[in-house]
Amino acid sequence: MLALGALAVTNSWDFPTYALLGGLAIVGAAWRAIIPRPSPPSPLSLSGRGGAEDVPDLPSPREGEGPGVRVGRLAGAAGLAAGVALGGLALYAPFFDRYFAFVRGLGTVPQAGGTALRDYLLVFGVPLALLVPTAVGAAWSALPRPTALIPGRVLVVILAITPLIATAVEPNLGLRVALISLLLLSGAVMLRRRIGPAAWFTLLLAWVAWAVSLGVELVYIRDHLDGGDWYRMNTVFKFGLQAWVLLGLAAAASLPATLRALRRNGGLAAQALGLIALAGLLLVAAAYPLVGTPSRVANRFPVQTGPTLDGLAFMGQTSFDYDCASYGGCQPGVTQVTVDLRGDAAAISWLNREISGTPIVVQSDLWFYRSYGIRIAANTGLPTVISALHEGEQRDPAMTGVRDADLSSFYTSSDIDAALHFLAKYQVNYIYVGGVERAFYPVAGLAKFTAMESSYLSRVYDQQHVQIYQVHGVPQSYATLQAVRPPTDTAHPKLPPGAITADLQALEQAVANNPTDAPNAFGLAERYRATDRLADAARVLTPAARANPSDVGLHHLLGDILADAGRYDEAEQAYMEAAKAVPTAGNWNKLGAALLAWGKLDKAEIALDLALSADPTIPDTHYNLGRLFAQRRDRERATAELQAYLRLAPNGPWAPDAAKILKDLAP
């Protein structure tokens, strides 16, 4: 149960498949225990012939046990199976309480959009070569007697040849028909108690794999790729891996019985021919790395590193042309750029050698697989502002879209004030300018970093056209003021059309159904805020904040949105609610900083005094009080607070700003 629940957390695509497998195993054991033994006993292996190793060891139904009791036992097994699945999810309830999947339900795979039978055989051909004859042979032996309408073995023949006919008539239907036939044949065998438990479970593994494969051909998960040519990619990829594992296990488990059956029916010659055929298939499959590796290498950068264990050796020799028309990301009117990564190799080595801790290094967020924008974070492990590609898949695209827009503006704009807002907002420690940044961003945007060296930046690395700047002294008030000042066109960058994904409507409906649900209200408000729908954002947050008085993050977001809208009195109340719920120095300081920015000095002083009472060692509070007293022209108290800040944080982000104010206050 614990492991099944862990699957739902670590890779949710695995949960339905393995919950189905476990549930069918539980129900199947109950079923095999209640159906009567054949008389006389004729235990069968999957090959269709009996063997001592295949004799079932199951209890016979109890005497006098009526149909109602047997149905009750089946129902109990089904309840146990459901309980295991639900219990596994319940063990991870705290995770699911805050989890939101960025999918939009199921879509139907059109007939022309399915997998061709030949392509399925190309991927799963080796295990199918063992399992299909095994399933057909087992069904041939398990259905010897006529059914009510048609002789059993005639039904096996019909199901075996139908996929071939369907493929000839309509190729796109061939795989679906073949999978249905295999499910019917193997299901018929499992419903009879004429095979041993090991053989039964082996067939169950194959049955679940075929069921998953059929499901992939009928429906797909509507994720971020929905609507494009690759709409089924993740569904086929994720569930295809599961089918591969299950079919591989089933094939391996069935191999001994298959070889014994060949020997019983055709002697050593038949067994040898079977092994030779299987070896031939394995050799064909093993050709992939031999053929695929040179093909892959031919598509790589033209470098001459020689054999090496250094995964970054290529970078020291790499310069490549990037097609802007095909992949985008370039400045308007530019069709091709040259990306030179040779200087990045040495810079990455320097960062790994010289930088300790986890400072934030801002770099380009351009596409990982083509322009290699995220190369610094990928090869150093240092955090950055926004990663390329997968962040937009695994987090709310509306929220990541804001960071994307901020970062693009940071590198392209020549506005130093806007750059300072960015650095303060994301608490950036280092700025990286290398081959990718020089190729894709305008000269004027990069030139501002040189202009900022005399005040807020220090160049700590400058080799092979790569510069790394260390950030220092950016007043944190830049981040606070940007959040609480009256709204302007640049307060929150607008997202490009379509950045608010199609599941917004589903989220709106979820909030409408339960307006007090904090996670949904928070997510919806962030989306509204990203597109400047501030009134709507405040509207959905208000009832959730009232219903969750101890949710500090909810109150802070509400306060930020109200402040963006210029509704300062309401914002003050939201910040106050957060501070009353959790009266920490940080919460009182946030309220005090906002009141100070709005010019409400008396109230700001009260809030900042409460912050000091909660924790007098936090530097930020002393800095804000120093600014407050400086505005009141109270030189003595301002000097004392600013000096206290500098004692506590001599290298803090506001140290230069505090020193400047002290200088201005000097007589």
Q: Do both 592 and 578 map to the same domain?
A: no
Q: Do both 434 and 384 map to the same domain?
A: yes
pLDDT digits (tens, 9 = 90+) for 568-624: 999 999 999 888 888 888 889 999 999 998 988 989 999 999 998 888 888 889 999
Tell me whether residue 444 is in a domain.
yes
Tell me whether residue 546 is in a domain.
yes
Q: Do both 173 and 237 map to the same domain?
A: yes
- DSSP one-letter code for 361: E
Q: Do both 38 and 170 map to the same domain?
A: yes
> How many angstroms separate the CA atoms of 278 and 137, rounded?
18
Q: Domain with 606 in it: what CATH number?
A: 1.25.40.10
What is the count of structural domains for the chain? 4
Tell me whether residue 643 is in a domain.
yes
**Which of 50-59, 103-112, 415-424, 650-659 shows the lowest per-residue confidence on average (mean pLDDT)?**
50-59
Q: Do both 121 and 153 map to the same domain?
A: yes
Average pLDDT rounded to a whole number, residues 406-416: 89
Nearest Cα residue to 134 out of 267, 250, 248: 250
pLDDT for position 501: 41
> How many angstroms separate the CA atoms of 246 and 256, rounded?
17
Q: Which residues pair with 618 in a beta bridge?
A: none
Query: Is a pLDDT exceeding 70 seen at residue 58?
Result: no
Q: Do both 81 and 196 map to the same domain?
A: yes
Tell me whether residue 358 is in a domain.
yes
Q: Do both 631 and 569 map to the same domain?
A: no
Q: Do both 388 and 460 map to the same domain?
A: yes
pLDDT for position 151: 63
pLDDT for position 52: 36
pLDDT digits (tens, 9 = 90+) for 467-496: 999 998 887 667 654 433 333 333 333 333
Q: Angle of helix 14-34 relative to helix 233-298, nearest 10 degrees?
A: 120
pLDDT for position 391: 77
Query: Among 560, 582, 604, where does a domain finish?
Result: 582
Q: Which two tokens stand for residue 126?
A: 């080796």
Q: Do both 399 and 504 map to the same domain?
A: no
**Which of 256-260, 380-384, 388-392, 643-647 shows the lowest per-residue confidence on average (mean pLDDT)?**
388-392
Nearest Cα residue to 476 out of 647, 627, 579, 602: 627
Average pLDDT rounded to a whole number, residues 521-539: 87
pLDDT for position 152: 65
pTM reported for the whole predicted model? 0.63
pLDDT digits (tens, 9 = 90+) for 90-106: 999 999 887 777 777 89
Report residue 34's pLDDT band, with 50, 70 and 90 as the boundaries.
confident
Query: Among 515, 549, 582, where does a domain finish?
Result: 582
Cis peptide bond upstream of 307, omega within 30: no
Q: Do both 280 and 344 map to the same domain?
A: no
Q: Do both 538 and 627 map to the same domain?
A: no
Q: Do both 463 and 504 map to the same domain?
A: no
Return all residues near 537 (Cβ < 8 A) that are at least 6 apart.
524, 525, 526, 528, 529, 561
Q: Which domain holds residue 197?
A: 2-58+67-292
**Which of 182-196, 409-423, 438-452, 536-550 shows the lowest per-residue confidence on average (mean pLDDT)?**
182-196
